[in-house]
Amino acid sequence: MTGKGIGIQGLKKRYGRGDTAVDALKGVDMDVAPGEVVGLIGPSGSGKSTLLKCLGAVIEPTAGTMRLGAEIIYDDGWKVKDIRALRRDRIGFVFQAPYLIPFLDVTDNVALPSMLAGTANAEARRRALELLEALDVAHRARAMPSQLSGGEQQRVAIARGLVNRPPVILADEPTAPLDSERALAVIRILNEMAGKFETAVIVVTHDEKIIPTFKRIYHIRDGVTYEEQGQGRGFE
């Protein structure tokens, strides 16, 4: 793994072309240090998901630069050869909808990305259980996804996003279906992960319960970001 933290400069994304083109990102700057958890807030259609997808190499930006650790990964074009490997090994995604694999139990859902990255099955399951415990769902470790509540599924999906300890975690509305206590537990574990493994974490959210925990917040409006000092002291 080459260095940590992420940086973006002048990032643009245009969908489509000609008369129907949409400029979803119009020059976004952002810097997230290793160990930092930042909030990304903005109205519907402002470009939040587009930004996360660019950062996670799910879609290709139109212009600008992106740095992952010390490595420039995008500079008016991809600078890494294997985009799939980048996505799989260096980015942790936590989506709004959990997308668990229905025929694997909870432990194996969480352990799978670790197994795919080459960790021995027993060790991958051990890591999975540790995260399930931290997220307060270890008692459901042998259950199948369909047997879980929506909030439990979401916490399992979060554990899965963390299992490979990626240097970057991108979370799109991770706490939306959770009650206050569990939403804060998720943010606490993201902060712990960030501190322990020098992870850079970006959390897209509308969730009033967690907004006060961020030390730094980026606001996005019409494809442009503005930085704000948050009210939060984090969790240390």
For residues 189 and 183, what is the distance between their CA atoms, to the nearest angstrom?
10
Using the contact rule CB under 5 A, the part of the chain among 45-53, 145-153, 160-168, 210-218 near Mg ion is: 45-53
Kindly report the number of other CB atoms within 10 A of residue 15's CB atom: 13
Please tell me whether residue 45 binds ligand ATP under the rule CB under 6 A. Answer: yes
**Binding residue for ligand ATP, selected from 2, 44, 146, 229, defined by CB under 6 A:** 44
3 state SS of 31: strand
Using the contact rule CB under 5 A, the part of the chain among 24-32, 48-56, 63-71, 134-142 near Mg ion is: 48-56
Please tell me whether residue 15 binds ligand ATP under the rule CB under 6 A. Answer: yes
**Binding residue for ligand ATP, selected from 46, 114, 153, 191, defined by CB under 6 A:** 46
Rounded to a whole number, what is the largest CA-CA distance in the chain?
55
Please tell me whether residue 49 binds Mg ion under the rule CB under 5 A. Answer: yes
Q: How far apart are the first and last CA of the chain?
A: 26
Q: What is the dihedral of CA 165, 166, 172, 176, to 10 degrees?
A: 0
Cβ 205 to Mg ion shortest distance, Å = 11
Using the contact rule CB under 6 A, the part of the chain among 48-56, 119-127, 132-140, 177-185 near ligand ATP is: 48-56
# binding residues, Mg ion (CB under 5 A): 1
Q: Which residues of 75-89 are buried (b: 16+ CB within 10 A; e: fewer)?
A: eeeeeeeeeeebeeb
Residue ranges binding ligand ATP (CB under 6 A): 15-16, 22, 24, 42, 44-50
